[in-house]
Every structure is written in C-alpha cells, then in structure tokens.
C-alpha cells in the first residue's frame, strides 16, 4: 500500500510539474490597462478656437454658394496656373529654377501659415489640438477605472487615449505622457500598463521607452503600421530621391480612383477646383509647345524641378517644420535631407532653423541612429513584450525611388514590421531566395507568406508580428482588434494564438468581433486587379495629366489632413 501511495504521489508530482510547464506556454489573460497613442488624428486649433489652417477651409469645397466665393475661386485657379510662368520662361529655356521655387513658397506658405511651426519647432499663434479633447483625456485617466477595456469600451470611446500635438518633437511630450501613465496606474490600482501606438504615434512610444522604459511600468507594447522605423515616402521626398515612373503613376492614380469610389483607404477624388487647375495647366503646356520638348526627358526634367522646389514645398506646407515628420527620415538619408531642406552647414537657412534642427538631431541621437540597439534594449534589457501589426497590398507614392515597395499606401511593410524581407508591389520573392532561407533553418518556412511576397523570419520580433494583406493604412478597425487582442494576454505569440493567423487577408465578407480578416491561403491571396492596369504606351499628354493630377491629389490630401478630414492615427 505504501508503495502504491508513493507511486501515486510521484505521478501527481510529475503531472503537476507538466501542467505548470504547459500553463507557462499557454496564453494567460491579463487585466493590465491600455494607454493608446494615435498618430496625426487630432485637428489643430489656434488660440481663438479656430480650426487651422483657416485660410484654406474652403479651398477644395465645390459647393460655393455666393458670387463673391465664385470670384475668389476663379482668382485662386488663375493664381495657381500663372505661377507656372517662371517655370516655362526660365526653367525650360535656361534651366533656372530659383524664381519658380520662390514663387511656389510665396504662393503656398500663407495658406499653411498657422499650421506651420516656428523655426525652433514650436507652435505659432497658440495653435494646438483641442483643449476640450486634452481635458477629457486627462479626466478619463484620473477618474475612470477601466482595467480591461473591450474593443467598444477602449477603442471607440478612448478611455485611456493620450492626446497630444502630433506636429511636435516626440520628446516634447514624453514627460507629460509619463505623468499620464502614472495617473492611469493610480486610478486602476495597477502596477503597470500596456501601450498601443499607431502611425506617427510610434515615434512618441519609441521616445517614451527610451527615457522611461527602464522603470518597469510598461509590460507590453503594440505597434501598428508605425513610421517610427522610417518611411520611404517621407525619407525619399525630404532627401530628394526621385524616380518618376509612368507605370506606377498610372497604377497609383487607378488605386486612388478606386479607393475614392469605394470609401476604402485614403482615396481622394479630385474636386472641381483641382481638376480645373490640371486642365488649364496641361492646356498651357500644349499651347506653348512645351509639351513637345518633354518627350523622352520627363524623368530628367522632373528630377531637376523636384529638387529645386522640394525645400519650398516642404517648408511652405509646414511639413518640414514638424519634427515628428523628420523621425521618418532614414538614418542613411538624414544628412542629405538636412542639406536639401535647410542648406549646407553654415548656410543662412541652416542657422535660421538651428532650434528645429537641434530637436531633429536629439531624436536621431537617442533613438533612430541605432534602432536595432533600441529594440534589444526594450525587449531584452527591460523585458517588454513587443507586438507588431503591418499591412500591405497598396502602392506607395509613384515619384520616389522606393515607389515599388510593398506597402499599405503610406508606410512600407519592411519598416512597419521591424525588418521583414519583401518582394516589390507587383512581384514575389524568388524561389531561390525562399529555398535558401529554408535551407538555413527549416523553421523559416512558416514565416513565408502564402503569396510568397513576405518573409517575416528577418523581423526583429517574428514570433509576435502579424501581417494583413489588402488592408489600407487608414483602416483603423483591423488595428484595434489585433491590438486589444495582443495586449490582453501576457504571453501571446503567433504560435499559441488560435484566433489570429500570422498572415491574414482583409475580407469584408468574413467577420470576427468586427474585424474583417481571414487566414491567408494560396487560394485567397490574390493582389488587387489595378496593380496591372497600366497603359503599355502612354502618350506625352497622358504623362503630363498623370503628373499634374498626382500633384493636385497630394496637395488636396495634405489640406484634408490638416483640416482633420483624414486621420492616419486610427481614431475613426
């Protein structure tokens, strides 16, 4: 009998030990509160409560009701068309662009003046996000004990949203974010928090973890389509890396048209105002005979024009004065970008913007100059679990060198995923590459997407990185579902997660808890049809129309962004 009892005790000990081991591997639900940092989703207001940029509220509004408004609209159209005269007279004939660059700046900068930061990277005219929004955010943190927010409770009503002026340097906000987090912890009686960040919010999360991550308050973080690891569109534009592509220009315009019609993503249908500028501009080219001289030389001409105008456009629209955009410039491109936008070391403009450049360099020195070291520090030294969501299936901007990158239309998949190896937007990874990766390590096979466009084995966090195909950057629902799901478990990985496949496809006909995704298979991983919808032999006129439509679309897009009509931060 004693032997039998002893045997049973041994068996129970073995089973209990095994159960403990199994429990350690399984995902464990947690009640840690979540703080959310969105991107540039909050509207900017001036000190008098007016939404800025005030001067362009009606610029793209086609519903003009008065004769006075119609006259103003006509004058604006004429002004925008006439600004091309220096380009035609000096640019085309004498390869001289300075006057045109100055004219562009003088024409555009007043429209964006109130949204533009000063030369030290600080707000002008008392501009900031809504004081009511900021006050509500602080009130929620101090009064609402909501330790385990559901999708509807957290994402929809923003129980622990941290609101901030997204134009500024991330380091301008980290101390206030730290106080906010301490308030949430006190309100919920928690010993730590989770943080979710999307789009441009990722740079603030990076800065916060760099300064305060060592304290141990942050248990898990989730990054969604962030620009904090670099963004080819911004980096190439700021550093002047231009590659004008007929094919991708046409595909991008088709994508924009489809998005605008379906309401999916950031599609922007050109308004009557923008369309009229396009029509008159192209006619002007044709009437003066300038179009004929562009045959076979659009790429060369556009490179010269773009590099001459880029500083004026970046500074004139205010983007170049916003430190949070500079976070997205790659480390390898930074010196070239600073030279292009502000001039060489010692130049007058460089000295004029010294305060702003100091803020740009501070973030660079503390975070972006060694991203791999930063990842290692937060995950290994600080013990913070890192989850990542990246998306693709849309084209990036068609005039940059990286126009063919796999992207969600704004940020490339490689950057958003913290290091995935990807094909181009219209190709797949080669069989030789895939076979070589599997030969190196057989487990790499599971990190190859069914459509053979993505290899997640090269990511910094492959076990906690999820990818959704045919999902646009502007689709906040997908982010919210993945984010709350990851942050609700202490040790969730792609291996022990039965709910979310590491590779998924957006499918509006399928839904779980409001998120329209389904596991990616070889049968459902097709790309959008428009990715092959280009003309084989575009004419010079079609190239000009495509170029001008793209420029009008981008101006339209940035205007809507500043007016709060488009959100890149997932707060819809």
The answer as to whether 22 is a domain residue is no
3-state secondary structure 203-267: HHHHHHHHHHHHHCCEEEEEEECCCCCCCHHHHHHHHCCECCCHHHHHHHHHHHHHHHHHCCCCC
pLDDT at 89: 57
Dihedral sign, Cα of residue 164, residue 165, residue 171, residue 173 = negative
* Bond prior to 53 in cis (omega within 30° of 0): yes
Partnered with residue 386 across adjacent β-strands are: 221
pLDDT at 1: 42
pLDDT at 541: 58
C-alpha–C-alpha distance, residues 43 and 319, integer Å = 15
Give the H/E segment covering residue 181: helix 174-188
Closest CA to 507 of 530, 523, 484, 485: 523
Q: Give every CB contact of residue 466 below 8 A, 6+ residues apart in sequence.
A: 387, 388, 389, 390, 482, 494, 500, 501, 502, 504
Q: Is 199 exposed, middle or buried (0-12, 13-18, 19+ CB in 10 A)?
A: buried
The answer as to whether 217 is a domain residue is yes
pLDDT at 308: 67
Q: Are 548 and 515 in contact (CB under 8 A)?
A: no
pLDDT at 14: 30
One digit per residue, the tens of pLDDT, for the chain of length 572 reads: 444 334 333 333 333 333 333 334 467 777 788 999 988 767 888 888 888 765 444 544 444 444 555 555 566 566 666 665 565 556 656 666 666 677 767 766 777 888 899 999 999 989 998 888 889 889 989 988 876 554 334 444 446 889 999 999 999 999 999 999 999 999 989 999 999 999 999 999 999 999 999 999 999 999 999 999 999 988 988 888 877 677 777 787 778 777 765 555 554 444 555 556 556 655 666 565 555 554 445 555 555 666 666 777 788 878 899 999 999 999 999 999 999 889 899 999 999 999 999 999 999 999 999 999 999 999 999 999 999 999 999 988 777 788 899 999 889 999 999 999 999 998 999 999 999 999 999 999 999 999 999 999 999 999 999 999 998 887 777 888 888 889 888 889 999 888 889 999 987 655 444 567 899 999 999 988 878 776 666 665 566 566 666 665 665 665 565 555 555 554 44
The b-or-e profile of 380-390 (16+ CB within 10 A means b, else e) is eeeebbbbbbb
Q: State the DSSP string of 443-468.
A: GGGGGB-TTS-EEGGGSSSGGGEEEE
DSSP state of 197: E
C-alpha–C-alpha distance, residues 306 and 567, integer Å = 27
Domain count, the chain: 1
Q: Is 431 exposed, middle or buried (0-12, 13-18, 19+ CB in 10 A)?
A: exposed
DSSP state of 504: E
Contacts by residues 51-54 (CB-CB < 8 Å, ≥ 24 positions apart): 51/563, 51/564, 52/114, 52/115, 52/125, 52/127, 52/562, 53/111, 53/112, 53/113, 53/114, 53/115, 53/559, 53/562, 53/563, 54/114
CB atoms within 10 A of CB 435: 11
The answer as to whether 16 is a domain residue is no
Closest CA to 478 of 493, 491, 487, 466: 466
Strands 218-224 and 385-392: parallel
Closest CA to 546 of 281, 300, 287: 281
C-alpha–C-alpha distance, residues 495 and 464, integer Å = 9
Q: Give every CB contact of residue 103 below 8 A, 6+ residues apart in sequence.
A: 83, 86
Q: Are 321 and 356 in contact (CB under 8 A)?
A: yes
C-alpha–C-alpha distance, residues 299 and 16, integer Å = 70
The answer as to whether 13 is a domain residue is no
DSSP state of 162: P
C-alpha–C-alpha distance, residues 137 and 36, integer Å = 11
Structural domain span for residue 283 = 28-572
pLDDT at 510: 56
The answer as to whether 398 is a domain residue is yes
Closest CA to 444 of 431, 458, 430: 458
CB atoms within 10 A of CB 77: 17
The answer as to whether 23 is a domain residue is no
pLDDT at 564: 59
Q: Are 459 and 419 in contact (CB under 8 A)?
A: yes
The answer as to whether 428 is a domain residue is yes
DSSP state of 348: H
The answer as to whether 21 is a domain residue is no
């Amino acid at each position: 009998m004693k032997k039998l009892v002893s045997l049973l005790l041994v068996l129970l000990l073995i089973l209990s030990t095994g159960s403990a081991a199994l429990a350690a591997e399984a995902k464990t639900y947690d009640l840690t509160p979540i703080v959310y940092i969105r991107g540039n989703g909050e509207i900017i207001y001036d000190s008098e409560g007016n939404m800025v940029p005030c001067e362009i509220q009606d610029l793209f509004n086609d519903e003009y009701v008065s004769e006075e408004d119609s006259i103003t609209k006509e004058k604006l159209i004429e002004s925008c068309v006439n600004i091309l005269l220096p380009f035609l007279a000096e640019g085309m004939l004498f390869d001289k662009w300075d006057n045109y660059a100055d004219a562009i700046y003088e024409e555009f900068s007043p429209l964006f003046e109130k949204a533009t930061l000063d030369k030290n990277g600080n707000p002008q005219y008392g501009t900031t996000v809504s004081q009511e929004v900021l006050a509500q955010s602080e009130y929620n943190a101090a009064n609402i004990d909501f330790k385990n927010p559901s999708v509807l409770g957290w994402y929809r009503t923003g129980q622990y949203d941290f609101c901030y002026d997204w134009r500024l340097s991330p380091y301008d906000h980290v101390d206030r974010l730290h106080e906010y987090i301490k308030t949430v912890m006190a309100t919920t009686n928690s010993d730590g928090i989770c943080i979710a960040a999307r789009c441009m919010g990722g740079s603030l999360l990076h800065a916060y973890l760099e300064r305060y991550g060592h304290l141990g308050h942050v248990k898990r973080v989730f990054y969604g389509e962030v620009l904090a690891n670099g963004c080819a569109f911004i980096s190439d534009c700021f550093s002047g890396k231009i590659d004008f592509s007929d094919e991708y220009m046409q595909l991008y315009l088709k994508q924009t048209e489809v998005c605008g019609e379906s309401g999916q993503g950031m599609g922007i249908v050109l308004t009557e105002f923008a369309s009229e500028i396009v029509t008159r501009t192209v006619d002007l080219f044709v009437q003066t005979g300038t179009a004929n001289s562009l045959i076979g030389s659009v790429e060369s001409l556009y490179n010269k024009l773009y590099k001459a105008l880029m500083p004026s456009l970046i500074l004139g629209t205010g983007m170049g004065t916003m430190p949070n955009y500079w976070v997205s410039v790659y480390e390898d491109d930074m010196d070239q970008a600073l030279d292009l936008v502000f001039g060489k070391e010692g130049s007058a403009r460089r000295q004029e913007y010294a305060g702003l450049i100091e803020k740009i360099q501070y973030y660079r020195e503390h975070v972006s100059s060694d991203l791999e070291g930063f990842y290692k520090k937060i995950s290994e030294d600080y013990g913070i679990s890192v989850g990542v969501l990246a998306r693709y299936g849309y084209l990036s901007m068609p005039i940059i060198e990286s126009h063919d990158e796999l992207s969600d239309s704004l940020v490339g998949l490689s950057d958003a995923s913290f290091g995935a190896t990807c094909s181009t937007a219209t190709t797949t990874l080669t069989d030789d590459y895939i076979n070589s990766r599997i030969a190196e390590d057989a487990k790499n096979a599971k990190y190859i997407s069914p459509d053979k466009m993505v290899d997640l084995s090269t990511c910094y966090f492959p076990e906690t990185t999820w990818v959704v195909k045919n999902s646009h950057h502007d689709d906040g629902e997908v982010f919210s579902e993945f984010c709350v799901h990851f942050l609700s478990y202490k040790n969730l990985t792609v291996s022990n997660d039965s709910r979310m496949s590491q590779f998924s496809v957006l499918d509006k006909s399928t839904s779980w808890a409001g998120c329209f995704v389904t596991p990616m298979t070889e049968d459902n991983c097709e790309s959008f049809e428009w990715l092959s919808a280009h003309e084989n032999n575009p004419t010079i006129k079609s190239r000009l129309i495509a170029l001008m439509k793209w420029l009008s679309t981008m101006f339209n897009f940035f205007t809507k962004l500043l007016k709060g009509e488009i959100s890149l931060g997932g707060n819809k």
